[in-house]
Structure 1
Amino acid sequence: MEKQTKKMNRREFLGLSALGLASLTILPSWSVNGQKYAPSDRIVFGFIGLGRQGMSDFYSASNCPGIQIVAGCDVDALKRERFMKRVTEWQKKAGWNPRCDTYEFYEELLDRKDIDVVSIATPDHWHALAAIHACQASKDVYLQKPLTYTISESIALVRAVRANDRVLQVGSQQRSDREFQRAIELVRAGAIGHIESVQVHIGEPPKPFDLPEVPVPPYLNFNAWMGPLTSPNVHYHPDMCPPIDNPEMEEKGPWAVWRYYRETGNGLTGDWGAHHYDITQAALGMDGSGPVEYIPAGYNGTKYCTMKYADGTVVTEQVIENFRKDNPNELGIKFIGTKGWLKVARGYIECSDPSLVKDTPMGAEVSHMQNFVNCIRSRRNPIAPVEVGCSTNIMCCLNNIAHELGRPVKWDPATLSFGDDEEAANHRLYYYKYRNPYTLPYWDK
């Protein structure tokens, strides 16, 4: 912590010193799939967060022409070792001189002037700081969903992206899939009439942290993993940071269970809500806005978690009856209109009028990562810009706030406020004070 405190106070991520291009050992020009790229055209990536999702994003980036990957950061030394091994193997296969630097603290990676872009796949509570500091260091950002852990962090990140003229793509990759794009197009065009309700199945909200304490392994800096969190009851357990303990260098155990606890995540509400509420908002034309009232399941007989838009459209979180014959409990979305219905999930789309979705291709024509890379070059907004991630994350957080308070919560999407509801405004998922020495830039409560 002392080392990290000094770095944060001294640099403040402004006027960062450069390690320069000397750290790269690639050829002055190189090719991908037979297409040559000059040094001025290449895009140089660094990665922050090297777990399962970070590795998945590395593979996505490595398939984009004109990309070089030169550095990675993680508080887990074993994951740093794996990343360096995989990246140098990829570089050798491409015919480049292998070199990949790794760091325990991301400030050192952001110091590098040769890095244009960072891909961030940390636990949610680190998203805001890592992404804001990257913007301040003039890096474009590919940021895994959900955008941030809290509402205030999302608002601050929007400000940081725009103040620093950065391109940020939220890793809600369903936006790039053609079945979801077709669903959005049909709903917006009125193909199933005026939308009266939407059913969305995403899963349970988070629960209190209840894992037993286990000694921290020597290869992991768990204090740095905790970062800004002020959760005295949270301690290390291997399920929180799945270890690598096999020759294949793959994690053993469940996929990052920190997502399922209130102190460290937003449950399936934030995890899958970041996907399916995202598509719901897009189809309803509500990107950048959102519902005005959130009613938790069980309140005064309310069967399902319910969200109400100002125009009267109602969204409920529920298992969707008769959703799909081969997978009836699948996480997905059903739009119900005055002229029919439309159901969509990954690799699946169905409509009351089959002709509307006949022969709809599945998956992305242009990958979500490639869309981001294209927008780095064009300096245009990607398919999932920061404002989209912000409004979707606010929707997820407000559902959890209403659930934990056990009563309805009203929200004004225009002013980003609860009105006179002080209890909701003081909830940790709106804002919490970081532990020292961390502070949230671009935020003034």
Structure 2
Amino acid sequence: MSSSSTRRTFLKKGAIAAATTFAAPMFLKAATLGRGQPGPNSRINVALIGNGLIMNGHRGYFRSRENTVVAAVCDVHQGRLQSALDQCRKENNACQGYEHYEEIMERSDIDAVVVGTPDHWHAALSIAAMRAGKDVYVEKPMTLTIEEGKAMVAAEKKYGRILQVGSQQRSERAFHKAAEIVRSGWIGNVKEVYCGLGSFPAPTDFPEQPVPEGFNYDKWLGPAPWEPYHNERVKGNYGGGWRNFWEYGSRKNGDWGAHHYDITQWALGMDHSGPVFFAPADYDQPYQYYEYENGIRVIRDWGDRKGHMIRFVGDEGEVRVSRGGRIDTTPALLAGKPLSPSDTRLYKSRDHRANWIEGIYTRKHAICDATVGHRTATVCQLAGIAERLNRPIKWDPKKEQIVGDPAAARWQDRPRRAGYELPV
């Protein structure tokens, strides 16, 4: 690795911002206008890191809002970076582009950061941003490993930042209603939950290809092990690409599990706890599942979900819920039944990103903060560990430790390449 001074010089030379030829208008940092938090009339300067598929929606959202300004974009792929920069300069011609995220962290005028990179970069970028005094919206799953999640929770508390994990189903009406129905006991004691995650192709060793010009592949790998470049390894593709590889994610457990297991945790009141047992497929049943201490079993890709993404089965009824506002219940009247004063009312958000922005102004925690995101990611990661090792895993959710299996416990963290240590 190069020295800090050499690295800083290189970063400065690499910034697309240097190509800007016009005078940049001044944007005041929102917090300076509100004596420690943004004033009601201030605008939030946002930086977008990782401008692949998922960031397309975020970029359009934050460009269009009156109270946010996209002040910086960052990507290790020069083509994607330039495209994002061109778009954002339509609203703010002072928007600057960077190959290296470190320069964004040094900018005191950046209030908030959106992290849309592959999963293996989530923790380092989020912690670095919080340490730099910036609030964070990080895509799901929040982390790649359990120990990263613990570090994220500690950083959120230490630096007093507002963090939102992009598990946006919590801000969708049907999922919110389904969780309240379950938590209020309308379907009795929950026995099983069926979640549809789907599958990815098996991970493949691809032959080495030349690294394309304008792509910093080493930086893209970051803390992950070095592997020969191949387009399929780095490609952003909801049906595969980098999501196929254990090095960068938890495959379908981390992809759709981060959504559906998150709603399951919420509905079962487990946001500060978790399951105690994880079984791979073909352990004692043909399907993968996990169980809570109270015996509730959550089953992946098995059972009749009756056309829905998630099905909660209780001893007095059931709830079936999907995106698009779809919710069905047995008895049918439960879906439209209003809550009584004695029923459980859960945190209400109808716009996930707006909920985060509101938190930046009010300093009220977001609907899916670091603790929530960590507990959900832990479920995804433990399911992935059981799948990779092809053996059951016992988990202590209080101590946050794999029980009775030292070899499996080593997977609670992963080695990081030199120079990419996790910030503190």
Q: What is the TM-score normalised by the length of structure 2?
A: 0.87
Matched, 1:382 2:366: yes
Contact 2:178 2:319 in 1 (8 A): yes
Please tell me the residue identity of whatever aligns with 2:251. G
Distance of 1:312 and 1:100 partners within structure 2: 52
Q: Note the alpha carbon deviations across 1:359-416, whole angstroms, 9 max, x for none.
A: 99xxx97321101000110101111111111011110110111112221110111111
Which residue, 314, 321, 328 being the options, matches 1:344? 321
Which residue, 259, 264, 268 being the options, matches 1:275? 259
Matched, 1:236 2:229: yes
Distance of 2:181 and 2:64 partners within structure 1: 31
Q: How does 1:25-104 map to 2 (within 5 A)?
A: 25=25, 41-91=42-92, 98-104=93-99
Deviation at 1:432, TM superposition (A): 1.4
Determine helix, strand or coil for the equivalent of 2:263.
helix
Matched, 1:334 2:316: no
Please tell me the residue identity of whatever aligns with 1:50. N
Count, aligned residues: 394
Q: Note the alpha carbon deviations across 1:79-117, whole angstroms, 9 max, x for none.
A: 1101111111234xxxxxx22100111000111000000
Q: Note the alpha carbon deviations across 1:26-56, whole angstroms, 9 max, x for none.
A: 588xxxxxxxx98962111011101111221
Which residue, 182, 191, 199 being the options, matches 1:196? 191
Q: How does 1:334-413 map to 2 (within 5 A)?
A: 334-347=311-324, 348-358=326-336, 366-413=350-397
Could you tell me the percent identity over the aligned residues? 37
Deviation at 1:212, TM superposition (A): 2.9
Counterpart for residue 225 of structure 1: 220
Distance of 1:59 and 1:358 partners within structure 2: 33
Deviation at 1:237, TM superposition (A): 2.1
Against the structure 1 CA distance between its residues 143 and 322, is the aligned structure 2 distance closer, same or farther, given a 3 Å change threshold? closer
Determine helix, strand or coil for the equivalent of 1:89.
coil
Please tell me the residue identity of whatever aligns with 1:310. E
Distance of 2:285 and 2:271 partners within structure 1: 26
Distance of 1:154 and 1:188 partners within structure 2: 26
Please tell me the residue identity of whatever aligns with 2:420. Y
Counterpart for residue 298 of structure 2: 315
Contact 1:4 1:105 in 2 (8 A): no
Q: How does 1:99-248 map to 2 (within 5 A)?
A: 99-204=94-199, 207-230=202-225, 232=226, 234-242=227-235
Determine helix, strand or coil for the equivalent of 1:191.
coil
Please tell me the residue identity of whatever aligns with 1:64. R
Q: How does 1:242-321 map to 2 (within 5 A)?
A: 242=235, 257-299=241-283, 301-321=284-304
Distance of 1:316 and 1:333 partners within structure 2: 10
Against the structure 1 CA distance between its residues 39 and 374, is the aligned structure 2 distance closer, same or farther, given a 3 Å change threshold? closer
Deviation at 1:188, TM superposition (A): 0.4
Counterpart for residue 14 of structure 2: none
Matched, 1:423 2:413: no
Gaps of 5+ in 2: 12-21, 29-37, 339-347
Please tell me the residue identity of whatever aligns with 1:192. I
Deviation at 1:202, TM superposition (A): 0.9
Q: Note the alpha carbon deviations across 1:128-167, whole angstroms, 9 max, x for none.
A: 1101100110000000001011111111111111111010
Please tell me the residue identity of whatever aligns with 1:236. Y
| Bigger mean CA offset, 76-85 vs 350-359 | 350-359
Please tell me the residue identity of whatever aligns with 1:238. N
Distance of 1:26 and 1:45 partners within structure 2: 14
Contact 1:207 1:262 in 2 (8 A): no
Please tell me the residue identity of whatever aligns with 2:293. A
Please tell me the residue identity of whatever aligns with 2:78. A
Q: CA RMSD in A?
A: 2.6
Distance of 1:306 and 1:5 partners within structure 2: 50
Deviation at 1:23, TM superposition (A): 8.4
Against the structure 1 CA distance between its residues 339 and 77, is the aligned structure 2 distance closer, same or farther, given a 3 Å change threshold? same
Contact 1:7 1:107 in 2 (8 A): no
Please tell me the residue identity of whatever aligns with 2:390. G
Contact 1:183 1:283 in 2 (8 A): yes
Gaps of 5+ in 1: 12-21, 29-36, 92-97, 243-250, 325-329
Deviation at 1:209, TM superposition (A): 3.8
Please tell me the residue identity of whatever aligns with 2:311. K
Contact 1:240 1:256 in 2 (8 A): no
Against the structure 1 CA distance between its residues 213 and 379, is the aligned structure 2 distance closer, same or farther, given a 3 Å change threshold? same
Determine helix, strand or coil for the equivalent of 1:50.
coil
Distance of 1:310 and 1:7 partners within structure 2: 50
Contact 1:308 1:315 in 2 (8 A): yes
Distance of 2:245 and 2:317 partners within structure 1: 38
Against the structure 1 CA distance between its residues 127 and 49, is the aligned structure 2 distance closer, same or farther, given a 3 Å change threshold? same
Contact 1:208 1:263 in 2 (8 A): no
Deviation at 1:254, TM superposition (A): 6.4
Please tell me the residue identity of whatever aligns with 2:298. V
Matched, 1:438 2:423: no
Please tell me the residue identity of whatever aligns with 1:187. V
Determine helix, strand or coil for the equivalent of 2:382.
helix
Determine helix, strand or coil for the equivalent of 1:280.
helix
